Amino acid sequence: MAKVLYFNIDDTLDYENELLKEWGIDDLELIEIKDPDHTKDFAGCVRDSGADGLVVEYEQVTSEVMDIAPNLKIVSLQSIGYNSVDIPAATERGICVTNIPGFCAEEVALHTIGFLIDLVRKITFYDKTVRAGKWDPLLGYKTYRITGKTIGLVFFGEIPKKMVPILKAMGLNILVYAPTKSAEYLAEFGCEKADTLEELLKKSDFVSLHCPLIPDVTWHLIGEKELKLMKPEAFLINTARGSVVDEPALVKALKEGWIKGAAIDVIEDETNEVSDLFELENTVITPHAAFVSEDSFYDGRKRCLEQLVMRLSKKVVPTSLVNKDVEFEF
């Protein structure tokens, strides 16, 4: 009987256990540990569980955690991002790492469009000022029509693809910085390719980030230098990962008027849930909620469990491997 530890995952495991029953899988034991106050020793819990599989959200699965979990064969993530796992260390130890690409593409695409509309029409700003007793439509920064403006998309995965038809219907020109995508490929979606990030930042009225957090590649991809390249009337939208943006640099840019405003779904310190961005009027902020819907929750949980079943029960290679070069034996 293989053991799978679900550490600090929202909800119970009733849904997962029902799926296993439906699929006829009787050789997996799902173990649940809750730690809402972050007081438990995560590494110790993994060690003591003797887990063959591990499901986490925000806990860091480091080489040290792997070294005290000799049975660990797979880390299955209920997310698109995988920056919480030391991928090289897992690969070296023959541990599969899986994610669920595209599971919340519709939700994040709509959230990003919502951010765009909110920034342009100052919806959240007006709501706050009215509730504070100020009935004045001329408060805050000046607004303009967006027809003919340019939005720059940084990377071009499933989320931006779902955004494109809506953006085009809004009359926006779409510029894309995606080093792995050709101009011809992007043209099929009605988008123009930016050869460099610098080109995209200089030309765009809106910059929307859709890249994974990759150490030494996209960590602080947007910093002081990049923010100063943007137009003073431009907006930044981040529904990717908090550390894709140098947060102190963004705070400075917003305070000093290098850019007009920002809409942020992710911050750098989500563990402590604090950010200087919270104090600024020219920001719209949501609590890493872009992916949320009942549909995405259950779709993500099902797809996560499928990867565990492949590796531990059916003894086949998981279909959503992040570390595709991992070598292991069944």
**Residue 229: other Cβ atoms inside 10 A:** 18
Contact criterion met (CB below 8 Å) for 221 and 245: yes
The candidate with the shortest Cα–Cα distance to 206, out of 227, 182, 234, 229, is 234
Label residue 127 exposed, middle or buried (CB < 10 Å: 0-12, 13-18, 19+): exposed
The candidate with the shortest Cα–Cα distance to 230, out of 208, 209, 202, 256, is 202
How far is the C-alpha of 264 from the C-alpha of 112, rounded, in Å? 9
Contact criterion met (CB below 8 Å) for 303 and 100: yes
Catalytic residues: 241, 270, 288
Listing DSSP states for 253-322 in one string gives HHHHTSSSEEEES--S-TTTT--GGGG-TTEEE-SS-TT--HHHHHHHHHHHHHHHIIIIIS-S--TTBS
How far is the C-alpha of 166 from the C-alpha of 178, rounded, in Å? 20
Contact criterion met (CB below 8 Å) for 171 and 120: no
The helix/strand count (H/E) of the chain reads as 12, 12
Longest dimension (CA), the chain: 67
The candidate with the shortest Cα–Cα distance to 155, out of 96, 112, 99, is 112
Q: Amino acid identity of 245? A: V
